[in-house]
Structure 1
Amino acid sequence: MLSSVRSRVLAVAAVVLCGSSCTVANSPAGDAGAAGSTLRVVLAQEPPTLEPCEASLTSTGVVVRSNISEPLLERDAASGELRPLLATAWRQTAPTTWAFDLRGGVTFHNGQPFTAQDAAFSIDRAVNSDLQCNVDGYVFDDDERLRMEVTGDTGLTVHTTKPDPILPLRLSFVEMVPRTTSTTAKVREPVGTGPYAIESWETGVSITLRRNERYWGERPAFPQARYVWRAEPSVRAAMITRGEADLATTLNPEDATEENSVAYPNNETTALRLDGREAPLDDIRVRRAIGMAVDREGIVGTLLAGLAEPAAQLVPDGVVGFNPALKAAPYDPEAARALIREAAADGVPVDRRITLVARNTQFPRVAETAEALQYQLAQAGLNVQIQMADTAAHLEYQLRPFPTDVGPVALLIMHGNQAGDAAFTTSQYLRSDGPQSTFGTPELDARIDQADELAGPARQDAFAAIFADQNQSVAQYVHLAHMRGLLGISRSVRYQPDSATGDELHLAAVRPSAGEAR
């Protein structure tokens, strides 16, 4: 199967994307490039919203986070350390209390001063309200309630209901907005404190930002930034090659060259989530057999063009809780077949059809990856049918409440732990009642709760042990690969992507290169 897929991939790679007569539909002709006044960015899709409390969504955060709005502090993607932003200092004064000193002299785009009252309002709006913000479910427990105390213009104290050693990290996902922002509806064009403000959003066409000339921090190089979106990776790559864009997100390997792109670790991990509520996936022997039947090295080397490495857990190195002792299961189709035969002998309906659900454009060559998985699981003795889905349909399988009467499902997921702590993975994907978990055990739930109250080395060790236990006693996930991304970048700009780039593309970090090599 992989050899046939390899032939198809090579054939695609051999296609010439654009010659001298190539044109890109709806390209932003007439825009000034990086040598001029406008930084031009082409995205894979139009953001569904620019609401700051939804900025933990990649498609929103890549435009909003630290461009339009800013949090109190942010995580350094390289070191994992928190650094000051709108807060200059923070400290834990009691097990359930954190104090923050806020930066003075900061104004919102509308001229309103930023104060501790705005910070308290922003946290309350994102976490305690009924807006159903993504940041509430992803970063905080849905039932978490925070209490804020304001001391003057620059003093803020946050009280938690239980000890939370990583509250500052959680708050790095809460973007600050003026206290005049609606609390009953999400906003379309937010007001923030960031280096850029929204100038216009022409639905279906483009988003234009203008530089915030009153910005408290370093002045960005470009007076304007303009986002457009093109679904086809080859089109995004061609726009870089032809000088029609300066940055382009998520290129495909066959479209990337040393001249138009740079690879970077994007903190994403691909895996199959197995629904253990349904036969035959309710038998751990079948779930373990699937792990043995997958040729990770072949998929990474052939389909992912080496832009990944085989995975044994849902988080990559650099995330608190990553377990370096875990190794990807070796490819052993004969052992997989033996486990399937053993389960069948005990009456497990191993011939029941399993639906492998994958999302279109989830990652480069996702359809070919699904086909490879289908073939490999069939070789192990399982009956697998592929269902490619759009984003909305995939989300129905990904998030609770899950579809019923659909039979056993192996869902191809891609999880990015952009926060850098295993708590954000385990609460979502490993707890038996997690929003993106189909099952688990009370014992694992209890261990997750205990680990979440620890700090330092004890926290690292506890979460590392949880990932090992998941593999051994639950096996809900068949981990595939830790991914790398490809960012399209023209020779006219300088920018160094990091593991956060796929979720938050900081425009202020981009500089004109004046023809210099990257």
Structure 2
Amino acid sequence: MNLKSTPVAAAVFVALACLGTTAGAVTLKIGNQGDALSMDPHSLNESLQLTVLENVFETLVSRGPDYKLTPGLATAWKQTSPTVWHFDLRKNVQFHDGTPFTADDVIFSYERAKSDGSDMKTYVGQVKEIRKINDHSIDVVTNAPFPILPELFYRWFIMSKKWCEANQATRPVDRRKGIENAASFRANGTGPYRVRERQPNVRTTFTRNGNYWGKVQGNVDEVIFNVIGNDATRVAALLSGEVDVMEPVPVQDVDRIKSASNLKVLQGPELRVIFLGMDQKRDELLFSNVKGKNPFKDKRVRQAFYQAIDIEGIKRSVMRGASTPIAEMFPAQVKGFAPDLNKRLPYDPEASKKLLAEAGYPSGFEVAMNCPNDRYVNDGAICQAVAANLARVGVKIKLEVETKGTYFPKILRRDTSFYMLGWTSSTVDAHNVLYSIMSSPGEGGRGQFNLGAYSNARVDELTEKIASETDDKKRTDMIHEAIKIHEDDIGHIPLHQQALNWGARKNIELVQLPGDEMVWKYITVK
């Protein structure tokens, strides 16, 4: 008899599934607008994916509830020479499959993170080599002095060398090329939770790792991560009790959730800045009616686009006040922010029209704009507002709004002429943004997310010097200069810093980190 087709088989399956939890286990049901696109921690440098996977995988250096650096898989670190950092690795740590964690896993993860297809090159790009001292001790050698190396390692996850080799997953999943492997759907980390069942873009179930080396401050045994893309449906799920926590709360529903007697909204500034990028490299745009030249190579065109955008109108009508317009590529909470340079160019459609005419486009032109609709707060609506603003100055936008599952592979291939992106400085330092977004694309992950290939030799030079400078005043002055050059060039068009809005039942205690990380080991259900 084929049990697969019988009611008995279904009952057996349910019974087996229940073996992963014990009676009285605490389950947390989360509703999010999107999903982690892969279980591979080196495949996509995207905040939602990383915040989900940081509960499964771990880094050498972590951050505590106060967002300060704290030991992770490394118990201590120190700089032993200008270009060498010594790390002591934690002993008696096991991966979920029982394999011991050693220095070999760190070295393997370094090679994997810097290899072709990796989206995490910026986190190891400053590293020249890693030397194994013994199974629980390594020296990290940098290309040049790099005083903030521990901060950089906060988002570099360690994988099991043995597991990856056994499962033909020694190379990262390449989202740009659609290449998948075992790490796409399965995970073997050292973290407090392990993957039990994976249904991409539907739900993923995680259970507590009974062999976890560290302390779990909360009491959650099981996490069911549900993907609920529709805002109204997600809110309804929280109101009905179908989910316990949801994010993001649509800005128009914040007051409604606050007014519910059994619910609360956690709010705070996020480190993320939402901005627009333009292809400034190709001699002819891929998606425009302008042939034989690239309008975005002309600063007057970039400035015209900037001044055509009514950012206060977007804040008022689209964001319902839950955003902070910004002129810089990182917010005030990030080291290096320059208050005196945080002055946006004025919204001025007439000036925009004049600039377009001077650049040779008195009637404007057409260009495609790529945007996600399930990644940032009101992302699709923001892009619609930008398109409407640009239409008033004669620019016809062909708006292409899509799920992040298809959006990110496209723009990461640089198959775009004009796009939206959000960026969070995981190091809480300006260098992260300068190196990843504002520098010319190059080796070691430099400019890996500068998808329009903005390039200024002086910004590149300053970024390299900033990486090594230990004198705080000199470093700050150089950051200031780089910001000013980028603003004068209109290398990108910053829009705003978005706010965090999480909804939860009142009996749930959460820690809301400014990088939009939801760490499950900090969650308590009362």
Instruction: Give the TM bin, normalised by the shorter chain.
Output: 0.7 to 0.9
**In the superposition, relative to structure 1, how do residues 338 and 110 fare at CA in structure 2: closer, same or farther (>3 Å)?**
closer
Shift of 1:397: 5.8
* Residue 116 (str. 1) matches residue 103 (str. 2): yes
Indicate the residue corresponding to 1:41 in structure 2: 30
CA distance in 1, matches of 2:347, 2:82: 48
5 Å-filtered alignment, 1:126-137, equals 126-127=113-114, 129-130=115-116, 132-136=117-121
> In the alignment, is the contact (CA less than 8 A) between 1:279 and 1:348 conserved in 2?
no
Over 3 Å counting, the alpha-carbon distance change for 1:351 and 1:177 in structure 2 is closer
CA contact (8 A) 2:123 2:156 kept: no
Residues 76 and 83, structure 1, Cα contact 8 Å, conserved in 2: yes
5+ residue gaps, structure 1, are 1-29, 404-408, 514-518
Distance 1:428 1:98, change over 3 A: same
Q: What's the offset of the Cα at 1:217?
A: 1.7
Structure 1 stretch displaced more, 263-272 or 204-213: 204-213
Decide whether aligned partners of structure 1 residues 367 and 116 sit closer, same or farther in structure 2, where only a CA change above 3 A counts. closer
Aligned to 1:88: 75
* Secondary structure class of the residue paired with 1:181: helix
The aligned counterpart of 1:227 is 225
Q: Is the 8 A contact 1:50 1:189 kept in 2?
A: yes
Deviations 1:87-138 (A, max 9, x none): 12111112221101122232222233323333333333323x45x22212x4
Question: Aligned runs of 1:468-479 on 2, under 5 Å?
Answer: 468-472=484-488, 474-479=489-494
Does the alignment pair 1:264 with 2:265? no
Q: Deviation digits for residues 14-53 of structure 1, max 9, x if unmatched?
A: xxxxxxxxxxxxxxxx999xx9521111222332211233
| Other-structure match for 2:502 | 487
In structure 1, which of residues 73, 96, 120 is the aligned counterpart of residue 61 of structure 2? Answer: 73
* Count of residue pairs brought into register by the alignment: 466
The CA distance in 1 between the partners of 2:133 and 2:351, in whole Å, is 66
1:324-343 alignment runs, 5 A limit: 324-333=339-348, 336-338=349-351, 340-341=353-354
Q: Is the 8 A contact 1:54 1:60 kept in 2?
A: no
- Residue type of the alignment partner of 1:207: T
Q: Is the contact between residue 65 and residue 511 of structure 2 (CA under 8 Å) also seen in structure 1?
A: no
Whether 1:275 aligns to 2:279 is yes
* Separation in structure 2 between the aligned mates of residue 507 and residue 456 of structure 1, nearest angstrom: 38
- For each residue in 1:452-497, what CA deviation from the matched residue of structure 2 results, as whole angstroms up to 9, or x when unmatched? 222352333322321121011x102221111012212112311131
Query: Which residue in 1 is equivalent to 2:365?
Result: 352
1:200 pairs with 197, 201, 206, which one? Answer: 197
Are the aligned partners of 2:309 and 2:386 in contact in 1 as well (CA < 8 Å)?
Answer: yes
Is the Cα contact below 8 Å between 1:356 and 1:410 reproduced in 2?
Answer: yes
User: Partner of 1:438 in structure 2?
Assistant: 453
Change (3 A) 1:122 1:366: closer
SS at match of 2:314: helix
Please tell me the residue identity of whatever aligns with 1:423.
H
Contact 2:26 2:220 in 1 (8 A): yes
2:289 counterpart residue number: none
Counterpart residue number, 1:4: none
**Which of 452, 456, 460 is the matching residue for 2:476?**
460
- Deviation per CA, 1:389-442: give whole Å up to 9, x if none: 443554366334445xxxxx4322222223322222222322233332333222
The equivalent position to 2:411 in structure 1, one of 398, 401, 423, is 398
Residues 290-333 of structure 1 show CA distances to partners (whole Å, capped at 9, x for unaligned) of 32332222211221011110111111122222222123325342
Alignment of 1:218 with 2:215, yes or no, is: yes
What TM-score do you get using the length of structure 1 for normalisation? 0.81
Alpha-carbon deviation of 1:182?
A: 1.7
- Taking a change above 3 Å as real, the CA distance of residues 285 and 178 of structure 1, as seen in their structure-2 partners, is closer
Q: SS at 1:281's partner residue?
A: helix
C-alpha displacement at 1:252, in angstroms?
1.0
**Match of residue 139 from structure 1:** 123
- Other structure's SS at 1:226 match: strand
Question: What's the counterpart of residue 8 of structure 2?
Answer: none
Q: Tell me, in whole angstroms, the C-alpha distance in 1 between the residues paired with 2:513 and 2:369.
A: 31
TM-score by length of 2: 0.80
8 Å CA contact 1:428, 1:437 repeated in 2:
no
**In the TM superposition, what whole-angstrom CA distance separates every residue of 1:152-181 from its partner, at most 9, and x where no partner exists?**
332111122333322222222222233312
Residue of 348, 373, 376 corresponding to 1:363: 376
Which of 370, 374, 377 lines up with 2:387 in the alignment?
Answer: 374
Aligned residue in 1 for 2:3? none
Q: Are the counterparts in 2 of residues 75 and 419 from structure 1 also a CA contact under 8 Å?
A: no
**Whole-angstrom distance in 2 between the partners of 1:378 and 1:512:** 49
Q: Distance in 1 between matches of 2:202 and 2:390?
A: 43
Counterpart for residue 5 of structure 1: none
Deviation for aligned residue 1:192: 1.8
1:241 maps to 2:246:
no
Equivalent residue letter for 2:80? T
How many Å separate the matches in 2 of 1:112 and 1:190? Answer: 13
The amino acid of 1:356's aligned partner reads M
CA 1:429–1:199 in 2, change beyond 3 Å: closer, same or farther? same
Which residue of the other structure, out of 39, 55, 70, is the alignment partner of 1:50?
Answer: 39
**SS where residue 94 of structure 2 aligns?**
coil
Question: 2:456 is matched by which residue type in structure 1?
Answer: T
The equivalent of 2:425 in structure 1 is 417
Q: Which amino acid in 2 is paired with 1:387?
A: E
Which residue identity does 1:226 align to in structure 2? Answer: I
Q: 1:50/1:387 Cα in 2 relative to 1: closer, same or farther (>3 Å)? A: closer
Q: Which amino acid aligns with 2:76?
A: A
How far apart in 2 are the matches of 1:292 and 1:77?
40
The AA in structure 1 aligned to 2:400 is Q
- 1:500 has 2:515 as partner: yes
SS of residue in 1 equivalent to 2:76? strand
In the superposition, relative to structure 1, how do residues 190 and 383 fare at CA in structure 2: closer, same or farther (>3 Å)? closer
Amino acid at match of 1:444: V
RMSD over aligned Cα atoms: 2.9
Q: Distance in 1 between matches of 2:225 and 2:429?
A: 31
Q: 3-state SS of the aligned residue for 2:205?
A: strand
Shift of 1:383: 4.0
Partner of 1:164: 146
Between the two proteins, what is the percent identity of the paired residues?
24
- Unaligned stretches of 5+ residues in structure 2: 1-17, 173-182, 282-292, 442-446
